[in-house]
A and B are shown apart, each in its own frame.
Chain A
Amino acid sequence: MIKSIQFALHITTHPIDGFWDMKYEKRGRLKTAIFIIFLTFMTFIFEKLVTGFTFHPQYNQSLNVFFELRKVLLPFILFCLANWSITTLMDGEGKAKDIVMAAGYALTPLILIRVPLAILTNFLTLKEATYVNMLMAIAVFWAGFLLFIGMMTIHQYTVTKTVFTMLFTAVSMGIIIFICMIFFSLITEIIGFLYTIYNEFVIRL
């Protein structure tokens, strides 16, 4: 357990090495990746509960765990799905498992920075919001950078190819959402249609 966490920290600081080890030295664990995702989810909840009043406009709204879960899980699953679809077509070497692991490990900096930051907001004033925002941005960029390196390493891509696959991934995530929405609205239409027929039966007969 401690080893896995140490390895996660190793990846955050030495991404190129780390992701290579993760895939080819088989040092990565799917369990650990899932655990990190869970921790990210907990971080979001922790933020909601702990962040100081000045930095939290919806301070007194009651927490909805399902909403927080959706915020973490939905993009993650979408990304893995889209990335797998794109890289399969573009000769990526990473397997689905690798993608999930890499994406999971890449989230570590979010936890590392945002948990202490949430505590810190209780002692900061709005004037110091710049630092908070900066640290937030660093967390996101760091995670993004890790994801980028991770994808490059596990798929054995060049930098340009990785840039393109990442862009395509983003686009296909959009397409997946779009198709889902079309599907749902179609279902509603069908239900509405059946309901109308039922209505007509009941009223006219």
Chain B
Amino acid sequence: MKNKRIYTVFILIFIITCTITTSTFTEQVQGEGGHLNAGTVSTTATDGVDAGSVMEAVAANENVQPGMELAAENDFLELFIDKTTTVAAVKDKKSGKIWYTNPPAWEDDTMAGSSKSKLMTQFTITYANNNGAITVIDNYEQSILKGQYVIEPLKNGVKVVYTLGNVKKGIEDIPKKLSNERFKSKLLDRVDGNEQKELKRRFSYIKEENTWVRREINTPQAVEKLIQIVDKAGYTKDDLIKDTLDNGIPLEGIEKKFFVIPIEYTLDQEHLVARIPVSEIKYPKEYPIVKMDVLELFGAGHHEQSGYIFVPDGSGAVIHLGLADKGANRFNAPVYGEDRTMFSGEKRNENENILLPVYGMKQGDQAWFAIIEEGDALASIQAYKAGMQNSYNSVFSTFDLTKMEFITLGNTMNSGYPAFQKKLYNGDIQLRYTFLRGDEANYSGMARCYQNYLIEKYKMNMQKLQQDIPFFVETIGAIKKVKSFMGIRYKGLDALTTYEENIEILQELQKADIHNIQLKVSGWFNEGMNQKFPTDIKLEKVLGGSKGFNQLVKYAKDANIGLYPDVSFLTFDSHASGFTRRRYVAETLEGKAAKEYKYNAATFGVDGRKDEYFRFILSPSQLPYVVHSFTNQYKKYNVNGISLRDIGDRIYSDFNEKKTVDRQDALKTVEEQLNKIKTDIGSILVNKGNAATVPYADFVLNVPQEHSWYMIEDERVPFYQMVFHGFVGYAGSPINLSSDHKKDFLRAIEVGSSIYFQWIYDDASATKATDFDYMYSSNYKGWLDAAIAYYQKANAVLREVQNQKMVGHSKIGDDVYKTDYEKGISVIVNYNKEPVTANGIYVEAEGYKIVRGGNGE
């Protein structure tokens, strides 16, 4: 009996102690958090948010992980959040599938090793110090585990504000050194006797300087005690800064490194919107956030699941879920290609660019699909296969918030020091997730989903049904060439196709009964292909001058042929005159003129630094002026079409200290100018158009037909084409310059592309030993018959589907693909060298077949 009572007492005491310790700890965190940062930091997992507000327990739902609470709900989705881990989840009401921001079974991961906790992060930031050394931290270790977060309810959602880093007071909050007078007035006189003794013990007086210096303190308990005393004395941060500065100690030692980053999840109809308001991000000035990986493990797929990751590399590519192959690297590519304003000394591969800011993943018969709505120009898309980091396949986006570049002085490679972007990005980061199921849960469904999004955003319209599909011809006007006068060399203009010769080519095509001709005229003004600054239009004499050009315009108009003279707005020849470098040329982080270099395929390096090897990059802030001056002069030629050589696929920023334009702003400027060009001139043809430019264009050329063939990628998919088919006319790269034109033709049939040729009137040998020697197979006479034949074959197939949506695409055999259109027409293409029978349909070797009615299954 007695024993029992003693045990009970013991247990009681134990419980009480536990309670007290926990509660004081909680108070401490709360108190200090508030002290430092006006209330953004507080709460452990259990308290802090008013439980009575939006949150209500949904124990009834058996699917959701225990501990998750409903945060918002609409007709399509339910949003849950786990208040102890801040893991969010969305339930698709139609299918009942739940998508988590982090894999629920994370603790069982056997491949993650020491980086297991990485599976629980919602974002990872990379920050730099002023030496350019970077540190990577994530919100799980630096915020969630420390309990430094606040969950706030939002209308239709929830907001989590994370504080990363050390917010507790430490030794750095006690002054290292302070004058005798201040030591007495600020500290000593404000506390009691015992504490005074303690202070005197911890500081030593130096007579010569009449100052007090802090002694080394070894135990954390002593530090804590001292902090309490200093706090009690009312010693503030300002005092600390003053004492530090007065005694010539650098401020860095006392600066606290912490980052406040909010993330919002809201439900918008069928979509989950994840948003990071960049303006609400707080970070120490000395430690700019360079990069931010967002929702790295959203909907991550375990390697045992079936399905694939979709990445928009080139036309699109899928990565099958599963374990990574040996030697395969992660997928990592910048959206809209690289920013050439950032100088890069080498370029290792010529790859396809990402043109659309989207990605997604299919798991079983479910899929999710993400659109980067804001911050897309700063984003990169990354994909990992299982086995690279952990046992999950993941795809996510990373945002470059502050651009950083190492500047090397002199020619030593190691003595670089970093330069940072001066004005920071002031927009938001916003991701829109959509959930697909059943028949829709594949890349065709994702394409349709993105198509609907674009229709709503840009009010894109379907094209009118033409009698025939367009036949795209590009002719090259004048090129610069080394010429020789009595053995003295000089660079001069050489006409490859004059204005009148264009007419001749058009007549040949018309003779062959081709009616829907779209003519792109390149290199037609201001020194031809090496086009100079375009604010003044000077028609070249060698091409026939203004008389010839007007004739061409008139002929095209009378014959109802689309005429698209090509102009390069974003880059211009370095020999150009008529511009002030300081004003018009973008600057690199180093403060130098930004240039687009040519890279050498053999050395990977910049191909010489001579003038002819680069083009200047226009500052986006000057684009409105340049476009305005150009269109004003262009109007008098009465052409209502224009081809944009570089606006379609390039976005460059300007790091000029006074007028920094980040990439997102540049994208915005480009969109505004496209709108202006459309109203001022009319029809637009772009090169490799990206998501922001295609909605303004009527035609797109050089559309990627492939992905980059990275090792991690398994198959190519015509995602780009599925999004835009029926809305714009498009074609891949010129068939005559292709290494395998038969294959390219089949590809055109498969992805619904028109036929595109790049021709010159002169002999192809005229391009020999020039920068344009890639056009070795471009004389129009040699290609005319083949072109007409290809066009007629393609026209027979694609004519009737030209203004239909491409609703499905699938691989139905080895190198056999089937493309489905809206109204029940399917095209099966066989790339094999022997005939195949796929889905019961016989298709000839290297041939194709149209299947009507039903969906051709």
Q: Please, which residues of chain B bring their CB within 8 A of the CB of A199?
A: 407, 409
- With A193-B410, A196-B410 given, name 10 new contacts (CB 8 A): A63-B487, A64-B484, A64-B487, A64-B489, A65-B487, A65-B488, A200-B409, A202-B591, A203-B590, A203-B591
Q: Please, which residues of chain B bring their CB within 8 A of the CB of A192?
A: 410-411
Give A64's nearest chain B residue, CB to CB. B489
Q: Which of B409, B482, B487, B489 has the most CB of A within 10 A?
A: B487
Q: Please, which residues of chain A bring their CB within 8 A of the CB of B486?
A: 65
Determine if A62 and B482 form an interchain contact, defined as CB atoms under 8 angstroms apart: yes
Answer yes or no: A21 CB below 8 A from chain B CBs: no
Answer yes or no: B419 CB below 8 A from chain A CBs: yes
Quote the shortest CB–CB distance from A9 to chain B (angstroms). Answer: 29
Closest 7 CB pairs of A and B: A65-B487, A62-B484, A196-B410, A63-B487, A196-B409, A64-B489, A200-B409
Q: Please, which residues of chain A bring their CB within 8 A of the CB of B487?
A: 45, 63-66, 68
Q: Please, which residues of chain B bring their CB within 8 A of the CB of A196?
A: 409-410
Known: A62-B482, A62-B484. A203 touches B410 (CB 8 A): no
Q: Which of B407, B410, B483 has the most CB of A within 10 A?
A: B410
* B456-489 interface code vs A (CB 8 A; 1 in, 0 out): 0000000000000000000000000011101111
A45 to B486, CA, bound (A): 10
A192 to B411, CA, bound (A): 8
A12 to B482, CA, bound (A): 41
A200 to B590, CA, bound (A): 10
| Count of A-B residue pairs with CB < 8 Å | 31
Quote the shortest CB–CB distance from B411 to chain A (angstroms). Answer: 7
Query: How many A residues touch the partner, as a band?
Result: 10 to 19
Q: Please, which residues of chain B bring their CB within 8 A of the CB of A65?
A: 486-488
Within 8 A of A (CB), among B588-645: 590-591
A63 to B410, CA, bound (A): 38
Determine if A203 and B419 form an interchain contact, defined as CB atoms under 8 angstroms apart: yes
Determine if A203 and B407 form an interchain contact, defined as CB atoms under 8 angstroms apart: yes
Within 8 A of A (CB), among B572-592: 590-591
Quote the shortest CB–CB distance from A99 to chain B (angstroms). Answer: 29
Q: Please, which residues of chain B bring their CB within 8 A of the CB of A200?
A: 409
A41 to B591, CA, bound (A): 49
Q: Please, which residues of chain B bring their CB within 8 A of the CB of A64?
A: 484, 487-489
A131 to B252, CA, bound (A): 83
Q: Please, which residues of chain A bring their CB within 8 A of the CB of B590?
A: 203
Within 8 A of B (CB), among A168-205: 192-193, 196, 199-200, 202-203
Within 8 A of A (CB), among B381-418: 407, 409-411
Q: Please, which residues of chain A bring their CB within 8 A of the CB of B482?
A: 62
Give B419's nearest chain A residue, CB to CB. A203
Quote the shortest CB–CB distance from A45 to chain B (angstroms). Answer: 7
Within 8 A of A (CB), among B413-444: 419
Q: Please, which residues of chain B bring their CB within 8 A of the CB of A62?
A: 482-484, 489
Quote the shortest CB–CB distance from B588 to chain A (angstroms). Answer: 11
18 of the cross-chain contacts (CB-CB < 8 Å) are: A45-B487, A62-B482, A62-B483, A62-B489, A64-B488, A64-B489, A65-B486, A65-B487, A65-B488, A66-B487, A192-B411, A193-B410, A196-B410, A199-B407, A199-B409, A200-B409, A202-B591, A203-B419
* B483-497 interface code vs A (CB 8 A; 1 in, 0 out): 110111100000000
* A91-113 interface code vs B (CB 8 A; 1 in, 0 out): 00000000000000000000000
Quote the shortest CB–CB distance from B816 to chain A (angstroms). Answer: 47
A91 to B483, CA, bound (A): 51
Q: Please, which residues of chain B bring their CB within 8 A of the CB of A202?
A: 591
A199 to B407, CA, bound (A): 10
A66 to B489, CA, bound (A): 9
Q: Please, which residues of chain B bring their CB within 8 A of the CB of A45?
A: 487
Q: Please, which residues of chain B bring their CB within 8 A of the CB of A203?
A: 407, 409, 419, 590-591
